[in-house]
Structure 1
Amino acid sequence: MSDKKTGKNAFLMYKGKPLVRNGKTIYYGSMADKYVVMLQVLSTKPYQDMEIADKVLVQLMYTDPEIRARDRIVKKSEKEGLYNALDIGSIWLERALRDQ
């Protein structure tokens, strides 16, 4: 997705990689790379006048569509809060892409 006026990428970026949200699922990383991180918000809690992520499932996954969905998961963990989940996910992704 690119902005028609500037021609720049319109995705929200975190540490140089795109963040794409679909409902309660957030994908971190590029699908063109070997790995991507999937963050699933399992539960939310009220904070002031909004809902924030409480429990988040973090999964480091292969992007290869030829691999069965169950076999794509390399690592997974459950974290409290979106920041903690994104923090560990970014570390896993950085290491996986560096070591490939």
Structure 2
Amino acid sequence: MSGKFNTYKGYPLVKSGNDIYYGYMQDPYVIYIQVLETREENGDQMISKVRIVQMDTNEPNPLKAFVKNAERECGLYEALDFANVWLEKALKS
């Protein structure tokens, strides 16, 4: 599959509906961001609450792949900054 992905701080972002995947799937970990709530601001829908999950890409059982998670009342960029910290720490260990 060829194509360009949007990136944030050097890692790809893939969005499908309310789900956002952050990171390279061939790396040991990726971050899954689920949009839980949005609010209207100046006629646009803005993210207001997310669930952020660090996932182990080598775990064959999807139920065991979730390493850690958190819910945050925040916008997209704050969620991505949070995800970037988790991803960087996980990939360095």
TM-score by length of 2: 0.92
Measure, in 1, the Cα distance between the counterparts of 2:45 and 2:8: 22
Q: Which residue of 1 aligns with 2:64?
A: 71
What is the identity percentage for the equivalent residue pairs of Structure 1 and Structure 2?
A: 43
Q: Which residue of 2 aligns with 1:52?
A: 46
Q: Which residue of 1 aligns with 2:27?
A: 33
Measure, in 2, the Cα distance between the counterparts of 1:57 and 1:82: 11
Task: Specify every segment of 5 or more residues in structure 1 that has no aligned partner in the other structure, as ranges.
Answer: 3-9
Work out whether residues 78 and 85 of structure 1, in 8 Å CA contact, stay in contact via their aligned partners in 2. Answer: no
Measure, in 1, the Cα distance between the counterparts of 2:57 and 2:41: 34
Give the match's secondary structure for 2:27. Answer: coil
Question: Aligned residue pairs: how many?
Answer: 91
Computing the radius of gyration from Cα coordinates, the structure with the larger value is: 1
Task: Specify every segment of 5 or more residues in structure 2 that has no aligned partner in the other structure, as ranges.
Answer: none
Q: Write the deviation string for residues 40-78 of structure 1: whole angstroms up to 9, x where unpaired.
A: 000100010110111100000011252x21211111011
**Deviant stretches of 4+, over 3 Å:** none
Q: Write the deviation string for residues 13-33 of structure 1: whole angstroms up to 9, x where unpaired.
A: 111110000000000000010
Relative contact order: is structure 1 or structure 2 higher (C-alpha 8 Å, sep ≥ 6)?
A: 2
**Aligned amino acid, residue 70 of structure 1:** L
Q: Which residue of 2 aligns with 1:19?
A: 13
Give the match's secondary structure for 1:89. Answer: helix
**Residues 65 and 72 (structure 1 numbering): CA distance in 2 closer, same or farther, change over 3 Å?**
closer
TM-score by length of 1: 0.85
Instruction: Give RMSD over aligned pairs.
Output: 1.1
Q: Which residue of 2 aligns with 1:90?
A: 84
